[in-house]
Amino acid sequence: MVLAFILKSAFPGVTILQFGARNDFRHALREWNDVARWHSKKINGGRINPPTREKANLQALKFSQVLRGRKSRRLCLTCRCCGAVTVLVTLEINRTMNENPNRLVKVCSSKFQVNPRGEFRARSKVAATAAAVTLAIVLGLVDYLTGREWAISAFYLLPTCFAGWVAGRSAGFAVGALCTGVWFLSDILGGPTYQHPLIPVWNAIMLFVFFFVVVWLLTAFRSSHYYLEQTVERRTAALRAEMEERKRLEHAKLQAERLAVVGSMAAQVAHEIRNPLGSIFLNLDLIGEELNVFVNSNRRSAAECQALLREMRSQVLRIRQVLQDYLRFARMPKSERAVVSLKGFLEEKLNFVQPLLDQRRVDLRKTFDPSLPPVYADAEQLWEVLLNLIRNAVDAMPAGGNLTVSTKRNDAEVLVSVSDNGRGMTEEEARNLFVPFFTTKSDGTGLGLAYAQQVINEHGGKIDCATARGKGSTFSIQLPLAVGA
């Protein structure tokens, strides 16, 4: 248990630490609350608000084990809140209390180095200070040569502000004092005497006070601006990390959902394949018997054999379609997106399904927005989704009906709708519509709409359905517009 960790001053000194044998030194450092006070008082003249306890925690960068078995250890610690303080501490274990379970750790020497990332390097500070001093002397010489008639005292702000911005507040104060002295000398030597001898002194004091206030405000603005940038960077990094974590969790959730349907998929695959295989096996036996009869009697035709073969072929095609649907759902290919103009795309694709619609006595109605901007999508995957919706609509109208495909813009999205006036669905059927393996068809796999939802979600869109029993159904797809549209 940490009993005390007191830092008495910022100057090198001696500090006594006492903590329990069960706690290592890293734990003691993390509870060092007095660092926050030192931090707020010593960095940039105490202009930084004290960080919270969580932010004031120190992280030992070069401390990987408990202070046991060694007489001393040199540590390098960095403040988490701003990364500005580097503390070099040499520790010594007092082994005179062997029987006492507590230990005395003595900070026999310490060195604090303030190196904020927003500060300039030491060489830059020295060079800036030298340049500011030179400029102040040059301005004093020019002020002396031009006399009082040409007032150039405002130009003394240049070296003062430059030194304060680059080299810090102390350098700014020093250069401001130098500029005040140079101005005072040039004013005394460059013109007649004043009516009162204290007038130039008063003017010099006012000038220095003005420089002092300007440097103070400038450096305060610089510090606040720097720490504001650091806060923005930290929050941006935290937000970026949160977004990455959210994407990872969404991906993990998707993977978990896919794994969750593996069990039901296996049972469904076994059921879907077992029935056609049984039919094929039975038809093979019947074909064998018919061939034996045909060979022996030589009187019967091959019509029955051809019928059985057609049935076998349809069952094999059924197996292939089931396997293709399952594999497509389990291994959805990565989309290859491009800019797609929906009007021309739909006009071209709908021409291919027109014979099917004519055969099923379905009247196709197209309502396209002529000013519809393009979308950024995978054309092939998008057509698979639309074709699935069209086939479902046709199946919902066994006696024929009206099929409407429409597009319109909805703010920053494009809305594609496929409507029919078929039998519609109940509320329970609509609620389970996008659940894998749920189907209202006798020969359906229940994966078409689940696959369609995966594709639309992959495109950053949304698909939903509005339906009522006996009034038809309307499937709506929302897709984001292409960038710049």
Q: What is the DSSP string of 332-371?
A: PPPP--EEE-HHHHHHHHHHHHHHHHHHTTEEEEEE--TT
| Separation between Cα atoms, residue 50 and residue 117, nearest integer Å | 18
310: left (phi over 0), alpha (psi -120 to 50) or beta: alpha
- pLDDT bin (cut points 50, 70, 90) of residue 114 is very low
| 3-state SS class at 403 | strand
**Beta carbons of 163 and 179 less than 8 angstroms apart:** no
Where, residue-wise, is CATH 3.30.565.10 in the chain? 338-480
Pairwise pLDDT comparison (299 vs 479), residue with the higher score? 479
pLDDT value, residue 154: 80
Chain centroid, CA 2 distance in Å: 39
Tokens of 159: 């070296």
Pairwise pLDDT comparison (149 vs 459), residue with the higher score? 459
User: In the predicted model, what is the mean pLDDT of residues 353-371?
Assistant: 88
| Separation between Cα atoms, residue 278 and residue 275, nearest integer Å | 5
Report the share of the chain in percent with pLDDT over 70.
62
338-480 domain in CATH 1.10.150.120?
A: no
Least confident of 67-76, 104-113, 284-293, 319-328: 104-113
**Beta carbons of 218 and 165 less than 8 angstroms apart:** yes
Assess whether pLDDT exceeds 50 at residue 30.
no
Q: What are residue 175's DSSP bridge partners?
A: none
| Separation between Cα atoms, residue 123 and residue 148, nearest integer Å | 37
Contact residues for 349 (Cβ-Cβ < 8 A; gap 6+): 383, 386, 387
User: In the predicted model, what is the mean pLDDT of residues 283-300?
Assistant: 66
Least confident of 80-89, 174-183, 359-368: 80-89
Strand ranges in 29-130 using DSSP code E only, listed in sequence order: 58-60, 72-79, 85-94, 103-114
- pLDDT bin (cut points 50, 70, 90) of residue 91 is very low
Query: What's the start-to-end Cα distance of the chain, in Å?
Result: 64
List the alpha helices (DSSP H) in 153-198: 157-167, 169-189
H/E stretch holding 461 reads none
In whole numbers, what is the pLDDT of the chain averaged over residues? 70
pLDDT value, residue 47: 39
pLDDT value, residue 253: 79
Strand ranges in 9-79 using DSSP code E only, listed in sequence order: 15-19, 58-60, 72-79
- pLDDT bin (cut points 50, 70, 90) of residue 474 is very high
User: In the predicted model, what is the mean pLDDT of residues 197-223?
Assistant: 84
Distances, alpha carbon 41 to alpha carbons 189, 312, 331, in Å: 43, 89, 61
Assess whether pLDDT exceeds 70 at residue 11.
no
CA-based nearest residue to 332, from 456, 446, 222, 444? 456
User: In the predicted model, what is the mean pLDDT of residues 290-316?
Assistant: 67
Chain centroid, CA 260 distance in Å: 27
Reported pTM = 0.41
Pairwise pLDDT comparison (181 vs 301), residue with the higher score? 181
**Beta carbons of 448 and 388 less than 8 angstroms apart:** yes
pLDDT value, residue 411: 78
Kindly state the DSSP code that residue 160 receives in the 8-state scheme. Answer: H
CB atoms within 10 A of CB 12: 11
| Separation between Cα atoms, residue 117 and residue 391, nearest integer Å | 64
pLDDT value, residue 66: 34
User: In the predicted model, what is the mean pLDDT of residues 241-269?
Assistant: 73
Pairwise pLDDT comparison (108 vs 214), residue with the higher score? 214
Long-range contacts of 339-344 (CB under 8 A, 24+ apart): 339/374, 339/375, 339/376, 339/482, 340/374, 340/375, 340/376, 340/377, 340/379, 340/382, 341/374, 342/368, 342/372, 342/374, 342/375, 342/407, 342/414, 342/416, 343/368, 343/369, 343/370, 343/372, 343/407
Backbone phi, psi, residue 125, to 5°? -65, -45
Contact residues for 245 (Cβ-Cβ < 8 A; gap 6+): none
Long-range contacts of 246-253 (CB under 8 A, 24+ apart): none
pLDDT value, residue 470: 84
**Beta carbons of 139 and 182 less than 8 angstroms apart:** yes
- pLDDT bin (cut points 50, 70, 90) of residue 483 is low
CA-based nearest residue to 179, from 201, 146, 154, 199? 154
pLDDT value, residue 297: 62
pLDDT value, residue 403: 92
CA-based nearest residue to 421, from 442, 437, 399? 399
| Separation between Cα atoms, residue 224 and residue 232, nearest integer Å | 12
Longest dimension (CA), the chain: 148
pLDDT value, residue 475: 92
Residue type for position 215: V
Least confident of 28-37, 183-192, 254-263, 448-457: 28-37
pLDDT value, residue 98: 38
Q: How many CA atoms lie within 13 A of 473 on its CB side?
A: 23
H/E stretch holding 9 reads none
CA-based nearest residue to 321, from 262, 388, 380, 258? 388
- pLDDT bin (cut points 50, 70, 90) of residue 476 is very high
Assess whether pLDDT exceeds 50 at residue 67.
no
pLDDT value, residue 235: 87
- pLDDT bin (cut points 50, 70, 90) of residue 108 is very low
